[in-house]
Amino acid sequence: MQKTFIQKRSMFLDLRIRLTKQSIIFLLDALAECLENASFMSYNNETGFPGATTSSASMGDIITATTETSVWWPVDDPCSNYTVLDQPWRNVANGKNYAHKCDDEYDGFVKQWYRLIGGAGTGIPSTCQATNHCGAYVPIYLNGDLPNATGAVVTIPLCGTHVNGCCDPDWPTYNIPHSLRAKHCGGYFVYELEPTTGCYAAYCGTDL
């Protein structure tokens, strides 16, 4: 009976050893498979093959594009986001009307998009204006053409009249901006104007 017990105990221990070996082999096989899958996912990501990482990047691109679109259109379109200039003293039709006007920062004029309407006219003239017009000693006007296609934006040089006449070659010394941007909005124009840094100079208006 003692021999039978020993034989059974030995058989049990041998079975446990075999089961333990099989468990270890199974775990090693499972670990190897996981490592192989991880390497494949990394390879997909590097080569651009379809995979979870690549899909996430594509979705990020879509989100970024959507965000940019919502920020830049139509909120910042100057055709719908501008400041009005409607002072009658700007209009060249008023003739000589020096009124010590000045489009500088001290008078609250800042760089932004503007639209001329009402008494100021409908746009900035592109013809020479004599001194003491447009409410200022140095009137500011365009030295180029406005855009002729809806939606187009162009940069146009500016001129000022001073003691040497139209487009006075010394006009930069009187602190007038060198140029502006104008956009064609269909039935009207908007202008990105900068403040002057000295007086007395102001932007003219006219009925286009």
pTM: 0.64
Instruction: At 50, give phi and psi (nearest 5°).
Output: -55, 135
Strands (E), 73-126: 83-85, 112-116
The C-alpha atoms of residue 139 and residue 103 are separated, in whole angstroms, by 10
pLDDT digits (tens, 9 = 90+) for 55-100: 333 323 332 222 222 334 456 899 999 999 999 999 999 999 988 9
pLDDT digits (tens, 9 = 90+) for 11-61: 544 544 454 555 555 556 655 565 555 443 333 433 333 333 333 333 233
The C-alpha atoms of residue 205 and residue 190 are separated, in whole angstroms, by 12
Instruction: At 190, give phi and psi (nearest 5°).
Output: -125, 150
